[in-house]
């Protein structure tokens, strides 16, 4: 294991002997220099006992239990960890836990991105996640760090429970927009799947930074409890007595408070710079779901929107990209993000810290299945209803991508194994372990890939493990447990060294954005039965794609290509009309 891999093995996780398939299932133990035969025998015995204990824990050992090595269940599989590894399987975080490896505060706080003001036990993921990833190649600018500290102070001054917040809520109840006050707000309400929600929430937070507003989150039951509070000393969650309650019923495409609808009805005009704040409604609804992103991205629109003290944003897209095409924000964005492709990377690592419940799932799975690997390869497979690619076609595309890019170790067939045995034994000291993490709603891809490496040795003699945390078969955004598993898998995927994602998948966007790595993207074929050519491409940027940009750009001629207006905004690899940040 190289130095980088050792540095990312949290809490001194112990390397165990494995076979040439999955953990504890190989034909022979891994031999390390200096080990004697007796030592190897002890490892085999210990491995057998650990496997026996695992089967008892996972399957109960009673009548009707599933057979050993059954495919993963919907729940996360948790594996007992050997006491020799000094890793606890529970998430109690007691004083008996060994201290994690010492890391400089710049790593622990992501280069100053995070505030050190939080109690670590209240959100264990906040300061611990740096132990599970490579150090980021992107460092936040000093201006971004300063702006975040200033924002946190404003959030404490204006957030729930503060006197200024109570005054602002009273104005909201009155039905009239108050004269511009010290505290203006953006209320974000979720829409669509978890990946969409995280992309739009990060975009909304960037908007609050640029407009000096305060971000508040409407968290319905299925979203509540997924993340830790990101701002010290205050909450981002709307209080229970907030005057607006029926977000789903009020904020629709037909809402009379929609900025788009108010403009169309003539109640408001983006050309009227002198509109009086007091004559405006008490809040404005900014409808930015995929079909309605045409409004609000002109400077004239921004001047009118700035007059509202309360704004409600509903979106399922990464509209942060569009903010870079508004000249009024260009200078500030350049200071905040000198590296344009790290915008979501910094925003996501600042905002999204899994709650202790979700982090417990992440940590247990990682330490049981991924911590020992020399290299971790993440494979995210999503088949969409509108493009129902048959399993064999999708699996073939994965294989072609892996062969094309050298992502997974090659295997040799059984009849060729004997010829390779002598060379494999001779090079045992150089063997490494690759863990493949499969995230998908279905278990088919995991089972096929696992079967390949279980029945065939690798050409190099290296070892491969294949793991899948869950397979719910269908997306259930309305279910809190499903969202917890989805968030845990996003984080596990972001701990991988190399990541393969499916085109158009927001789940994949968030995972590689958190990781700060450029993924290999499995491209969409022209039809479900036709092969994609090429099978995959390497993304040129870490940034997510804005899949549905506005159809018009303020002040630009008809037909102007928004992907060619500035050098740092171009089209996406997986969505031809989409926009991404580069450079």
Same domain, residue pair 188 and 322 = yes
Residues 448-481 pLDDT 10s: 999 999 999 999 999 999 999 987 666 666 677 8
List the domain range (segments joined by +) for residue 170: 142-336
Same domain, residue pair 376 and 474 = yes
Same domain, residue pair 196 and 223 = yes
Same domain, residue pair 303 and 417 = no
Of residues 118 and 79, which shows the higher confidence score? 118
| CB within 8 Å of 182: residues ≥ 6 apart | 157, 158, 164
Residue 343 resides in a domain: no
Same domain, residue pair 582 and 466 = yes
Residue 19 resides in a domain: yes
Residue 344 resides in a domain: no
| Distance of alpha carbon 290 from alpha carbon 467, whole angstroms | 34
Residue 269 has pLDDT above 90, yes or no: no
| Distance of alpha carbon 135 from alpha carbon 125, whole angstroms | 16
| Distance of alpha carbon 280 from alpha carbon 263, whole angstroms | 12
How many helices (DSSP H) and strands (DSSP E) are in the chain? 19, 12
Residue 349 resides in a domain: no
Q: How many domains does the chain have?
A: 2
Same domain, residue pair 296 and 367 = no
Q: Which of 2-16, 22-36, 142-156, 189-203 has the lowest mean pLDDT?
A: 22-36
pLDDT in the model for residue 453: 95
Smallest Cα–Cα separation from 234: which of 345, 132, 142, 151? 151
Residues 218-255 pLDDT 10s: 988 877 889 999 999 999 999 999 999 888 878 888 88
- CA distances, 66 to each of 73, 432, 514 (Å): 10, 32, 36
Residue 89 has pLDDT above 80, yes or no: no
> What's the residue count for the chain?
583
Residue 103 has pLDDT above 70, yes or no: no
Residue 66 has pLDDT above 50, yes or no: no
Residues 521-577 pLDDT 10s: 999 999 999 999 999 999 999 999 999 888 777 777 777 888 888 999 999 999 999
Residue 347 resides in a domain: no
Residue 138 has pLDDT above 90, yes or no: yes
| Distance of alpha carbon 125 from alpha carbon 140, whole angstroms | 20
CATH number at residue 93: 3.40.50.11350
Average pLDDT over residues 416-430: 51
Question: How large a percentage of the chain has pLDDT more than 70?
Answer: 75
Residue 326 resides in a domain: yes
Smallest Cα–Cα separation from 469: which of 497, 435, 501? 435
Same domain, residue pair 367 and 329 = no
Mean pLDDT of the chain: 80
Same domain, residue pair 244 and 153 = yes
Residue 294 has pLDDT above 80, yes or no: no
Same domain, residue pair 380 and 400 = yes
CA angle 436, 442, 448 (to 5 degrees): 50
Q: Look at residues 336, 366, 387 and tell me which one is the last residue of a structural domain.
A: 336
Q: Look at residues 285, 309, 336 and tell me which one is the last residue of a structural domain.
A: 336
Task: Give the confidence band of 273 by pLDDT, cuts at 50, 70, 90.
Answer: low
| Distance of alpha carbon 329 from alpha carbon 451, whole angstroms | 52
104 Cα distance to chain centroid: 24
Residue 238 resides in a domain: yes
Of residues 386 and 51, which shows the higher confidence score? 386
| H or E segment and range at residue 287 | strand 284-288
Same domain, residue pair 191 and 320 = yes
Same domain, residue pair 73 and 157 = no
pLDDT in the model for residue 430: 64
Residue 350 resides in a domain: no
**DSSP strands (E only) in 140-276:** 185-189, 214-217
Same domain, residue pair 210 and 71 = no
């Amino acid at each position: 294991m190289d130095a980088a891999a050792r540095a990312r093995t949290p809490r001194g996780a112990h390397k165990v002997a494995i076979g040439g398939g999955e953990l504890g299932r190989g034909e022979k133990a891994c031999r390390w220099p200096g080990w004697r035969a007796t030592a190897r025998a002890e490892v085999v015995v210990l491995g057998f006992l650990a496997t026996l204990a695992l089967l008892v824990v996972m399957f109960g050992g009673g009548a009707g239990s599933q057979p050993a090595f059954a495919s993963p269940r919907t729940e996360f599989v948790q594996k007992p960890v050997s006491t020799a590894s000094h890793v606890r399987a529970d998430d109690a975080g007691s004083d008996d836990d060994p201290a994690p490896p010492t890391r400089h505060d710049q790593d622990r706080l992501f280069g100053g991105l995070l505030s050190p003001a939080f109690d670590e036990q209240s959100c264990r993921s906040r300061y611990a996640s740096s132990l599970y990833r490579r150090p980021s190649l992107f460092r936040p600018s000093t201006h971004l760090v300063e702006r975040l500290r200033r924002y946190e102070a404003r959030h404490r001054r204006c957030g729930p429970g503060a006197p200024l917040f109570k005054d602002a809520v009273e104005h909201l109840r009155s039905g009239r927009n108050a004269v511009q006050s010290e505290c203006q707000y953006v209320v974000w309400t979720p829409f669509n799947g978890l990946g969409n929600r995280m992309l739009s929430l990060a975009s909304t937070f960037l908007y609050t930074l640029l407009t000096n507003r305060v971000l508040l989150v409407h968290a319905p039951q299925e979203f509540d409890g997924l993340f830790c509070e990101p701002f010290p000393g205050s909450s981002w969650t709307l209080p229970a007595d907030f005057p607006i309650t029926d977000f789903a019923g009020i904020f629709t495409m037909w809402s009379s408070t929609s900025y788009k609808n108010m403009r169309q009805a003539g109640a408001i005009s983006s050309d009227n710079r002198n509109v009086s704040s007091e004559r405006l409604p008490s809040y404005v609804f900014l409808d930015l779901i995929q079909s309605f992103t045409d409004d609000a991205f002109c400077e004239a629109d921004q001047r009118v929107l700035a007059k509202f003290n309360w704004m409600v944003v509903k979106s399922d897209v990464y509209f942060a990209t569009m903010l870079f095409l508004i000249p009024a924000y260009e200078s500030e964005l350049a200071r905040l993000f000198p590296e344009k492709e790290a915008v979501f990377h910094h925003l996501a690592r600042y905002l999204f810290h899994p709650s202790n419940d979700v982090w417990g799932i992440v940590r247990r799975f990682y330490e049981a299945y991924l911590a020992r690997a020399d290299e971790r390869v993440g494979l995210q497979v999503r088949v969409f209803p509108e493009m129902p690619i048959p399993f064999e076609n999708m699996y073939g595309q994965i294989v072609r991508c892996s062969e094309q890019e050298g992502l997974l170790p090659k295997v040799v067939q059984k009849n060729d194994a004997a010829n390779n045995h002598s060379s494999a034994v001779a090079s045992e000291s150089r063997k490494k372990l690759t863990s493949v993490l499969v995230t998908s709603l279905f278990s088919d891809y995991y089972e096929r890939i696992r079967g390949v490496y279980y029945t065939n040795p690798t050409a190099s003699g290296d070892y491969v493990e294949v793991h899948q945390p869950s397979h719910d078969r269908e997306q259930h955004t309305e279910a809190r447990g499903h969202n917890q598993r989805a968030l845990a898998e996003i984080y596990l995927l972001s701990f991988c060294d190399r990541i393969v994602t499916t085109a158009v998948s927001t789940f994949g966007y968030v995972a590689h954005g958190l990781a700060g790595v450029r993924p290999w993207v499995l491209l969409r074929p022209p039809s479900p039965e036709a092969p994609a050519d090429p099978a995959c491409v390497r993304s040129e940027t870490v940034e997510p794609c804005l899949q549905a940009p506005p159809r018009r750009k303020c002040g630009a001629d008809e037909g102007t290509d928004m992907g060619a207006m500035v050098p740092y905004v171009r089209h996406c690899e997986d969505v031809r009309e989409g926009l991404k940040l580069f450079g």
